[in-house]
Amino acid sequence: MCEDTAAIGATALLHAALTMRRAASSLRSRGVLGLCLSTASRCYAAAEPAASFCSANDGHLPFTLLSKAQIAPDSWLLRFALPPPRRYLGEDPTLPTCIKVAFPDGTDEAGAPKVLEKSYSPVSHPATEGEVELLVKGYAPRPGGGVGAYLCGLEVGDVIDAQLKSKRIMHGDAAVLRRWKRIGLVGGGTGVAPLLQIVRIVLAADDEDAHVSLLSINRHEADILMRVEHDRLAAAHPGRLSVSYSLTAAPPSGWAGHTGRGSLEMISQALPPPTNDGTTMVLVCGTDGFVETWAGPVARGPRLADGSKGPKVQGPLLGLLAAAGYDASEVFKY
């Protein structure tokens, strides 16, 4: 139920649900993927039947490809329909989501047939009705891999099996709203996908005090993913979102952004400074090597009883962010 149920009542609750539905339709018609995620949105979620929401307990579900667009030499934006009767991905429109995609025709590293699975964080807002967008890089197929190539090779109308993953706990809580006043996001390549979803969640809420700084690092300018959307959101929210880019290869003539994989100078210019008071958070997402450079490696817990890999754990804060003076409580290796 809603947090303010005692003051709202059943009639007001239903009114809030209808209002949020109309707001969702209006926002989507203007290309804004998200809702005003305040107390009213919690009422909206409570008023919807449970079948409207995808749950991690649902297991694998069919997602149908609605459209695909190539946005970089090796990357695609794929839009999937949610499996009816589900209308929303996740059970809480204020929390980031992630799905695990099954590749039925994969192989293990020895080449033997094996169903492979890979996790993808949508770039769409979790309150987007009826669909979800994935940013996927189509790495060349290889033994033990190839999920990205499988997804990028799909045609409109094809169906994939995917499962909603459990909510991600960041330093004891899955929430991102009204938790920090300064949020730094550092993404390498497709690592910007979960970060863009967080940007959408924060900007769609009514928390005017939260400011987000996004730093996207890529090899070439043509490799910058979702740049048009990042710049559009920054222009629409000049006081709440700032966006910076860095190129690791030789930049083109006239390049006005940063260069390199990361530095203390880049941190001081593109990210909020450490405050050590619980009001600042920096999230880092990218390849293992990228995350290690910025914050140290992600560790693994003990193997599970079935022999599979243990859960990821943060491990100590190292790398550039440690050198810049951030506390481990101010950094999350996404």
CA distances from 30 to 25, 26, 110, 217 (A): 9, 7, 49, 29
**β-bridge pairing 159-164 and 61-72:** antiparallel
The beta strands (E) that lie in 73-106 are given as 75-81, 99-103
Q: Global pTM?
A: 0.84
| Inter-helix orientation angle 192-204/227-236, to 10° | 20
Is the preceding omega at residue 141 within 30 degrees of 0, hence cis?
no
In whole angstroms, what is the distance from residue 81 CA to residue 71 CA? 20
Does residue 329 contact residue 310 with C-beta atoms inside 8 Å?
no
List the pLDDT tens digit at each of the 334 positions of the chain.
333 333 333 333 333 333 343 344 334 333 343 344 444 344 445 567 778 999 999 999 999 999 999 999 999 999 999 999 999 999 999 999 999 999 999 999 999 999 999 999 999 999 999 999 999 999 888 889 999 999 999 999 999 999 999 999 999 999 999 999 999 999 999 999 999 999 999 999 988 889 999 999 999 999 999 999 999 999 999 999 999 999 999 999 999 999 999 999 999 999 999 999 999 999 999 999 999 999 999 988 888 888 777 888 999 999 999 999 999 999 999 9
pLDDT of residue 46: 54
Helix (H) or strand (E) holding 174: none
Would you state the structure tokens that stand for residue 40, as one six-digit string? 């009213």
